[in-house]
C-alpha cells in the first residue's frame, strides 16, 4: 500500500485545530490552535490517537505508513526551524510528548533533547557558543532516554548526579563544569549498559522511533491505568504523540522555563498564577527537584517577557472561554509557548471561575453549571483545621491543594497503598513525587513534599484528585532509609500521626480537630443555578431531627429514607427493645411496644418539623431482631465471668444477686441462639417481621400518624410516606399495607381529622423488580434500595466482597465498584424493568432511589435517564446529587437538540 493510500497518521501543527482533540489529543490540539493563532510555538507535528490504537491492535508495531509520514513531517520541521535532524553543524533537537484527548497530567512519558550524541553535542556547543549548556542537554537526554525508553531506575541517575555535585561542592546542577558534565555523561552511559545491556543509539532517527514507541507504551503503564480508573476515562481512546522542535530554558540567565495558570487553580482568583525556574528545562519545574520562583517575580527579572506572557495568557483564556494551564520556555529572552490545556482546579476555584466567567459574560449559565464537576462540590464540603484549636506546627510550605487531613506518616507509595487497604489513614511524605507515586497519592489522605512548587507533579495531581497537599516544605529533612523525617529538632517516624492543612500550607504534629467549612455566596448562587435546570428532586437519608435539619440546610427536598431501627439503638430504648424481643407472648410484646411508641412519635415529630412542607419516607423496621441483642460471644463470656464470681461470693445476698444476673443473661443467650440465622440478610427481616409480628407494624404506624397529626395541628405541612421493606411478593405488601391503612383510620378518627399520606415499598429484591406491575396495583410509590438490590442481583456481600472487588475493578472484570456506582448492565436493567412495569400498572406512581447510589454522579445520570422522580442519599452528598442531576438534565437536553 502506498503512502497516499495510508490513513493520515501525522498532522503538522498548522494542519490541526482545537476541534480535533479526540484525534490529536489535548496537547496536539492546543499546539495546533496556538500555531494557527500566530502565537510563538516551536514547529512540530502530532501522531494521532488512531495511530496509538492501531499500534496496540497490531502487536505494538507502528501502523503502515506512520513512520514514513513522521519522517516527511520531520523534513517540514527542518525547513521551518532552519536546522537538520542529526546535522553535524546546526542540529535539530526535538521533544517527544504524550497527549491524550482527556488530560492526564504527569501520567505518561516525555523525552526531551532527542537527537543528541557526542557529535551533535559538539555541534550544538559550537553553534550556540556554550559548551556547558550543550553537555548539560546531553546528560539530561541520556537520563530521560534511559529512564523512559530503556526503563533504567531513576534513582541510579539521581545518585550519580548527586555524587558528582558533592564531589564538585555544587548545590545546583548548573554549577557543574563542562568536564564534570562530560564525565557524568560517560557515567550515565555506563549505568544504562550495566542495567539493561543496551546502549542509547547514536542515530537520531532510531532515537525518535524508540521514543515514540515508549510514549505509546506509557498509555498502558500502571499509573496511567490507575488514573483512568479513578477518573472514569476509557482505556480505548489512546494517546497522541507530539514531536516538537526543542527550545532551551537552560542556556543562561536570560533563559528559563515555567508553568502558569490564567487564574489561581486553588482559589479561582483572576490573576496569572504559576512558577518560573531560571536556567532550567520543563521537567525541572514539574518534577519538583528545585523549588521555583512565583511567576509574578518574572515581572521584575524579565519585564518584557512577563508582559508578553500576560497578553498570551489573556488571549488563550478568551479564545477557549476557560482557565488555561500553559507551559512555556524563555530561550535567550524570547518567549515560546509549549502547551495550553484546560487547567485542573480545586473545587473552590472551579466554583469561583464558573461564577466569575458567567458574570463576565464569557459563558452562559448552562455552561457555568456544566463547568463544575460534582466532585468539586464534594471538595468544598471537606473539613478544615479548627482555627481555635492548639497545635504544634512542624513545617510550613506552599498551600498546593486545600482541605485538611490527619493520618499516619508513610514514605513510599506502595506502603501508602498497603496501609490504606488495611484501613489505616495515611499521609504520604516525599522529597518530591513523580508519576510512579500515583497509586500512593490515591491511597493517601494528603500529600506532603519537601521540594517542589505549586505547579509540581504533587501539586497538580493532588489538586486534580481533590486531595489536600502541601509542597516545598524545605524544613523537612527526610531519611528514607530509616523511614523518618526531622524538622526543627522534632523527629517523626513512619506510623506517627500528623495533620496537613492544605489551606494554609502547614504540617502539624499529631491529630488536630477539624470543623465544617462555611459555604460562601458563590456556592449558594451557583447551586441556585443548578437547581433551575434539574428535573430530579433530591432528598436525604436521615434518621434523626438533627440529621434532617442538616440535610435541609444542604438543600434536601425531603427525606427519602428514615431508618426507624436506628432510633431503637439509643441507650434509653435498647433495653425496652430487648424486652420486646424477649417477651414470651404477644401481650408482653405489646406492653414493651407501648413503651417505645411515645419515643418513636417524638422522633417522627422532630423529623416532620424539620422537613416542614416536604415529604418524609419512613421505612418500617427492617433488620432481623437479633441485631438488637448483645453478641453471642460477648454474652457467653459475661455468663462465664459471673459464674466465676459466684464461686467467690462472700455472702448469700451476693450469691442471689449473681444468680439473678446469670438467669437473665442465659435467657438472652437462649434467645440469641433461637434467633440465629445462617444468612440473616435473606432471613427473618423486613416485611417478614411485620407479617409474623403485626403488632410491630401497628406500633410504628400509630407513631407515624400520631406524630403527623400533632405537627399538622401546629401548622406544619406534613407528607408522610410509609415504606414497607424487603417485599418480594405482592401479597406481602398487601398484608402490611392493610395494617398501615387500618391504623391510619384509627388515628384519624381519634383526632377527628385526616391528612394525605402514601404507602409504598422498597424494590430491593430481583423478584420485586420483575413483578413491579403486580406490586404497583396497591403500592403508591417505589423506592429502589439499590444496596440490597446490588447484593441480591450480583450475589455479592457488601461487607465481605471488599477483599476482592478492587481486584475485579483493576482487572476490568467490573467497570466500577457496584456498591458505589450502579451496575447499569445488571442491576440497572432491573431498575428499568421495574420503572416500566410499575408505571404501566399505575401511571401516577412516584419512583425514587434511596441507596447510596443516589449520591453518585454516574448513577444519578442513569436514574435521570430512566425516569425516576427523585434520588435520596446521605445528607453530606445532597449538594453533589443536586449538581449531578442538573448535569444529567442539561446533557439530556443537548442530546435531544
CA separation (Å) from 379 to 264, 286, 373, 402?
Answer: 16, 24, 10, 8
Q: Give the residue from 91, 182, 98, 197 showing the smallest Cα distance to 142.
A: 182
Task: Report whether 563 contacts 543 (CB < 8 A).
Answer: yes
Please list the residues that pair with 429 across neighbouring strands. Answer: 448
Of the residues 376, 382, 457, 887, only one is catalytic, namely 457
Distance between CA atoms of residues 720 and 712, nearest Å = 11
Q: Smallest Cα–Cα separation from 43: which of 242, 317, 250, 328? A: 242
Give catalytic status of residue 382 as yes or no: no
| Residue 830, C-alpha cell as written in the block | 432491573
Q: Which of 516, 711, 683 is nearest to 608 (CA)?
A: 711
Answer whether 154's CB lies under 8 Å from 160's CB: no
DSSP letter at 62?
A: P
Q: C-alpha cell of 767? A: 423478584
User: Beta strand pairing status for 870-874 and 537-541?
Assistant: parallel
Q: Which of 253, 277, 254, 273 is nearest to 263 (CA)?
A: 273
Give 3-state DSSP helix, strand, coil % of the chain, rounded to 5.
Answer: 50, 15, 30
**How many degrees, rounded to 5, is the angle at CA 463 between CA 462 and CA 464?**
90
Query: DSSP label at 844?
Result: T
457 is catalytic: yes
Q: What are phi and psi of 229, to 5 degrees?
A: -65, -45
Cα(339)–Cα(39) distance, rounded to whole angstroms?
11
Relative to beta strand 273-278, strand 256-261 is: antiparallel
Q: How many helices (H) and strands (E) does the chain have?
A: 34, 33
Residue 326 grid cell = 500553559
At 227 the three-state DSSP class reads: helix
Query: Does an H or E element contain 110, and which?
Result: strand 110-114
Task: Provide the grid cell at 210.
Answer: 524508540
| CA-based R_g, the chain, Å | 33
Strand partners, 396: 506
Which residues neighbour 702 within 8 Å (Cβ) at sequence distance 6 or greater?
597, 743, 746, 747
Cell triple for residue 753? 381529622
Residue 681: how many other CB atoms lie within 10 Å: 15
768/762 Cα distance (integer angstroms):
9
Phi, psi values for residue 216, rounded to 5°: -55, -45
Q: Which three cell numbers stand for residue 186?
A: 560517560
Instruction: Please enumerate in sequence order all residues whose Cβ is within 8 A of that of 756, keeping only pairs 6 or more positions apart, or say none.
Output: 719
What are 845's three cell numbers?
406512581
- Give one DSSP letter per residue of 671-728, joined into a string: HHHHH--SSGGGSS-THHHHHH-HHHHHHHHHHHHHHHHHHHHTT---EEEEEE-S--
Catalytic hit among 52, 850, 864, 873: 850
For residue 305, the SS3 value is: helix
Instruction: Return the residue matching grid coordinates 471538595.
Output: 379
Query: At residue 349, what are phi and psi to the nearest 5 degrees?
Result: -70, -40
d(CA 875, CA 882): 11
**Closest residue by Cα to residue 611 from 563, 542, 659:** 542
The DSSP element (H or E) to which 394 belongs, if any, is strand 393-396
Active-site residue list: 457, 850
Amino acid at each position: 500500500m502506498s503512502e497516499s493510500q495510508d490513513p493520515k497518521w501525522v498532522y503538522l501543527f498548522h494542519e490541526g485545530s482545537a476541534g480535533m482533540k479526540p484525534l490529536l489529543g489535548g496537547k496536539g490540539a492546543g499546539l495546533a490552535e496556538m500555531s494557527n493563532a500566530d502565537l510563538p510555538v516551536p514547529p512540530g507535528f502530532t501522531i494521532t490517537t488512531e495511530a496509538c490504537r492501531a499500534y496496540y491492535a497490531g502487536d505494538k508495531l507502528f501502523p503502515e505508513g506512520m513512520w514514513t509520514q513522521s519522517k516527511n513531517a520531520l523534513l517540514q520541521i527542518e525547513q521551518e526551524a532552519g536546522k537538520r535532524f542529526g546535522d553535524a553543524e546546526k542540529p535539530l533537537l526535538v521533544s517527544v510528548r504524550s497527549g491524550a484527548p482527556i488530560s492526564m497530567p504527569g501520567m505518561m512519558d516525555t523525552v526531551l533533547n532527542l537527537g543528541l550524541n557526542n557529535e551533535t553535542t559538539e555541534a550544538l556547543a559550537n553553534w550556540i557558543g556554550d559548551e556547558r549548556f550543550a553537555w548539560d542537554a546531553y546528560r539530561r537526554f541520556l537520563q530521560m532516554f534511559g529512564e523512559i525508553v530503556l526503563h533504567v531506575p531513576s534513582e541510579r541517575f539521581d545518585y550519580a548526579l548527586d555524587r558528582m555535585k558533592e564531589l564538585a561542592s555544587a548545590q545546583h546542577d548548573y554549577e557543574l563544569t563542562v568536564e564534570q558534565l562530560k564525565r557524568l555523561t560517560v557515567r550515565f552511559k555506563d549505568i544504562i549498559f550495566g542495567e539493561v545491556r543496551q546502549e542509547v543509539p547514536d542515530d537520531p532517527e532510531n532515537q525518535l522511533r524508540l521514543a515514540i514507541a515508549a510514549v505509546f507504551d506509557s498509555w498502558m503503564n500502571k499509573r496511567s491505568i490507575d488514573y483512568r480508573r479513578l477518573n472514569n476515562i476509557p482505556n480505548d481512546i489512546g494517546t497522541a504523540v507530539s514531536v516538537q522542535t526543542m527550545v532551551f530554558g537552560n542556556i543562561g540567565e536570560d533563559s528559563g522555563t515555567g508553568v502558569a495558570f490564567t487564574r489561581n487553580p486553588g482559589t479561582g482568583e483572576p490573576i496569572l498564577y504559576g512558577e518560573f525556574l531560571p536556567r532550567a528545562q520543563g521537567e525541572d519545574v514539574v518534577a519538583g527537584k528545585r523549588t521555583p520562583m512565583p511567576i509574578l517575580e518574572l515581572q521584575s527579572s524579565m519585564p518584557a517577557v512577563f508582559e508578553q506572557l500576560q497578553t498570551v495568557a489573556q488571549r488563550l483564556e478568551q479564545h477557549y472561554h476557560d482557565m488555561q494551564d500553559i507551559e512555556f520556555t524563555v530561550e535567550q529572552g524570547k518567549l515560546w509557548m509549549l502547551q495550553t490545556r484546560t487547567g485542573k482546579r480545586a473545587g473552590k476555584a472551579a466554583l469561583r471561575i464558573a461564577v466569575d466567567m458567567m458574570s463576565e459574560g464569557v459563558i452562559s449559565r448552562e455552561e457555568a453549571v456544566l463547568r463544575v464537576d460534582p466532585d468539586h462540590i464534594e471538595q468544598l464540603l471537606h473539613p478544615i483545621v479548627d482555627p481555635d484549636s492548639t497545635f504544634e506546627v512542624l513545617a510550613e510550605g506552599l498551600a498546593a491543594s486545600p482541605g485538611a487531613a490527619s493520618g499516619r506518616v508513610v514514605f513510599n507509595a506502595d506502603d501508602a497503598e498497603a496501609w490504606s487497604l488495611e484501613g489505616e489513614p495515611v499521609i504520604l511524605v516525599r522529597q518530591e513525587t513523580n508519576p510512579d507515586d500515583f497509586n500512593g497519592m490515591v491511597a493517601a489522605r494528603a500529600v506532603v513534599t519537601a521540594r517542589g512548587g505549586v505547579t509540581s507533579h504533587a501539586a497538580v495531581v493532588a489538586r486534580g484528585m481533590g486531595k489536600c497537599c502541601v509542597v516545598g516544605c524545605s524544613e523537612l529533612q527526610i531519611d528514607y532509609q530509616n523511614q523518618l523525617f526531622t524538622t526543627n529538632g522534632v523527629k517523626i517516624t513512619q506510623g506517627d500521626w500528623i495533620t496537613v492543612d492544605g489551606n494554609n500550607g502547614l504540617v502539624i504534629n499529631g491529630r488536630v480537630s477539624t470543623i465544617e467549612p462555611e459555604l460562601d455566596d458563590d456556592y449558594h448562587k451557583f447551586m441556585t443555578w443548578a437547581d433551575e435546570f434539574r428535573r430530579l428532586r433530591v432528598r436525604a437519608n436521615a434518621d434523626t431531627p438533627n440529621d434532617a435539619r442538616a440535610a435541609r440546610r444542604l438543600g434536601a427536598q425531603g427525606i427519602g429514607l428514615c431508618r426507624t431501627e436506628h432510633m431503637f439503638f439509643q441507650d434509653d430504648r435498647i433495653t425496652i427493645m430487648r424486652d420486646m424481643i424477649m417477651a414470651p407472648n404477644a401481650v408482653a410484646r405489646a406492653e414493651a411496644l407501648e413503651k417505645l411508641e411515645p419515643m418513636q412519635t417524638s422522633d417522627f415529630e422532630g423529623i416532620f418539623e424539620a422537613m416542614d412542607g416536604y415529604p418524609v419516607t419512613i421505612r418500617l423496621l427492617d433488620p432481623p431482631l437479633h441485631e438488637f441483642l448483645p453478641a453471642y460471644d460477648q454474652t457467653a463470656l459475661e455468663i462465664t465471668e459471673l459464674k466465676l464470681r459466684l464461686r467467690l461470693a462472700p455472702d448469700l445476698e451476693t450469691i442471689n444477686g449473681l444468680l439473678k444476673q446469670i438467669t437473665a443473661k442465659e435467657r438472652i443467650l437462649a434467645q440469641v441462639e433461637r434467633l440465629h440465622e445462617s444468612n440473616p440478610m435473606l432471613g427473618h427481616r423486613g416485611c417478614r417481621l411485620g407479617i409474623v409480628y403485626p403488632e410491630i407494624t401497628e406500633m410504628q404506624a400509630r407513631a407515624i400518624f400520631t406524630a403527623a397529626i400533632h405537627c399538622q395541628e401546629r401548622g406544619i405541612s406534613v407528607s408522610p410516606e410509609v415504606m414497607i421493606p424487603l417485599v418480594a411478593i405482592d401479597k406481602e405488601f398487601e398484608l402490611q399495607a392493610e395494617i398501615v391503612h387500618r391504623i391510619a383510620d384509627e388515628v384519624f378518627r381519634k383526632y377527628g381529622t385526616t391528612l394525605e399520606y402514601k404507602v409504598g415499598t422498597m424494590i430491593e429484591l430481583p423478584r420485586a423488580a420483575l413483578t413491579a406491575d403486580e406490586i404497583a396495583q396497591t403500592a403508591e410509590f417505589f423506592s429502589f434500595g439499590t444496596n440490597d438490590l446490588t447484593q441480591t442481583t450480583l450475589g455479592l456481600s457488601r461487607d465481605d466482597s471488599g477483599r476482592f472487588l478492587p481486584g475485579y475493578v483493576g482487572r476490568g472484570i467490573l467497570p466500577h465498584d457496584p456498591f458505589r456506582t450502579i451496575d447499569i448492565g445488571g442491576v440497572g436493567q432491573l431498575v428499568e424493568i421495574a420503572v416500566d412495569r410499575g408505571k404501566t400498572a399505575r401511571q401516577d406512581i412516584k419512583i425514587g432511589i434511596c441507596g447510596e447510589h443516589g449520591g453518585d454522579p454516574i448513577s444519578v445520570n442513569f436514574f435521570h435517564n430512566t425516569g425516576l422522580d427523585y434520588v435520596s442519599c446521605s445528607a453530606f452528598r445532597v449538594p453533589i446529587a443536586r449538581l449531578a442531576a442538573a448535569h444529567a438534565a442539561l446533557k439530556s437536553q443537548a442530546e435531544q437538540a
